[in-house]
Amino acid sequence: MLSSNQLTQMVHKYLGLYNSTDCIQQICKWTVRESTVGGRGIIATEDILCGEVLFVDRPLIFGPRCGNVIRGCTVCSKFEDDGFFKCSLCALLLCSTECQDFHTDDCNIIAGWKKKVDIEEIDEIVMSHALAAIRALSLNQEQKQFMSALAAHTLPQHGGEIIKLKQYFEIPEEIEKDMIFACQALDTNAFQIATPYGKKEMSLRGLYPVAGLMNHSCLPNATYSYNDERQMIVKTSRFIAAGTEIFTCYSGILWGTTTRRSYLFKTKHFWCKCERCADPTENELTESRLSLKLVLCRDILATLAALGLEDSHLCGLLFYHLHATLAERARRHPDLYDGLKSEIESTIERAYRILRGDISAPVDLELRYRYLGPDCEKPQQERFSILSI
């Protein structure tokens, strides 16, 4: 295991802040140290003002998110195209000859495995889900060492993409192990890459190794955005004093406490105990905030519909939160139930259709669909009993 100093040096080199001639080329106001919340984290070494850029990270590997059920090009990520075709050598889905020429590295790896079935029988969704882990095989030794320094969940559910991939290929044992570790590292540290505004592209995830060292808080002091080259720009969101840990947020920052904590336990395997999660006033929205959440969900859904993105992952989450808000209003005011019933049912049905099987789906999605969806015939009081769990 690398020491904190060794890892800091590796991070600086990866970010272009260090070389053997000039050592530190740029000012860096943080370092990697042991964290008070567990493991290692990024700690400020001097005061940092709000809005300062902490670092610009780039993904070691990236690929379509495992929750995607949309067919899309594995190079440019477009998911609406009449010209999709499957590569005859590797079975990856492509949309053009330009993308075919660009996918050589991925193709060379996959084409080297012996196929168990014909190309036509290989599920392109399985290929898409495994692609980020496949790309880990192209990393150089330093990059692999950096990835191995990151935390990685080893529970059986992490690495399922490779188990499915083995239905179609004979994969050498060592390569299988490397890809499963990549899946474990991705599930622990990957970030969803924002889709450029107005573009109809598959949702991607990327393993940003420096950002992956940041620990979680539901009151983060750092925020991030992406540029056109899939680089992540991490900035402070408020003043950070020297010696303070720099945190990001692994969940939806606008989610309620129960949803945030359940999501973190389901996907990251810990129960958050941050200041916000310990605040009892966070557990229930006021009527004014409930009304604001309804308006925001509906307005954003209308915008996404106008852009033709009704089936995107973001829409699924918004339908879920619109449903949850409507259901909470009906729970508080039973006399409103008959008027809200149809929309409560239709929104959870839409959310379930888009998000089912997605590891990032809200933990109670299936339970809500079963009790509050259109097929449930239980009486009103019993249907809403799940909201008090």
Alpha helices by DSSP H, 229-364: 257-268, 287-306, 313-332, 337-355
Amino acid found at 267: T
Whole-angstrom distance, CA of residue 94 vs CA of residue 76: 8
Widest distance between CA atoms in the chain? 74
Is the pLDDT score of 266 beyond 90?
A: no
The DSSP result for 141-185, as a single string, is: HHHHHHHHTS----STTTTHHHHHHTTTEE--HHHHHHHHHHHHH
R_g of the chain, CA atoms, integer Å: 22
Structure tokens at 117: 């079935």
Asked if residue 49 lies in contact with residue 257, where contact means CB atoms within 8 angstroms, the answer is no
In 67-109, the DSSP E strands lie at 85-86, 93-94
Q: Is the pLDDT of residue 282 over 60?
A: yes
Give the C-alpha separation, 75 to 96, whole Å. Answer: 10
CA 187 centroid distance within chain: 8
Rounded-to-integer distance, Cα 207 and Cα 211, Å: 9
Task: Please choose, from the candidates 147, 143, 157, 214, the residue with its C-alpha nearest in 3D space to the C-alpha of residue 185.
Answer: 147
Per-residue model confidence as pLDDT tens digits over 68-98: 667 889 999 888 767 899 999 999 999 999 9
Q: Distance between CA atoms of 115 and 172, rounded to whole angstroms?
A: 12
Domain spanning 4-58+208-249 has what CATH number? 2.170.270.10
| Residues 369, 272: Cα–Cα separation, whole Å | 26
Per-residue pLDDT at 389 exceeds 50: no
If one counts every other C-beta atom within 10 angstroms of the C-beta of residue 202, the result is: 21
Kindly report, residue by residue over 188-231, the tens digit of the pLDDT.
Answer: 999 988 776 667 788 899 999 999 999 999 999 999 999 888 99
How much is the pLDDT for 26?
Answer: 56
For residue 198, what pLDDT is reported? 64
Mean pLDDT, the chain, integer? 88
What number is the average pLDDT over the span 4-18?
A: 84
The per-residue pLDDT for 21 is: 43
pLDDT at 167: 95
**Residues 7, 40 contacting (CB under 8 angstroms):** yes
Domain ranges for the chain: 4-58+208-249, 63-203, 287-387
Q: What is the pTM of this model?
A: 0.73
Report strand pairing: 245-248 vs 191-193.
unpaired
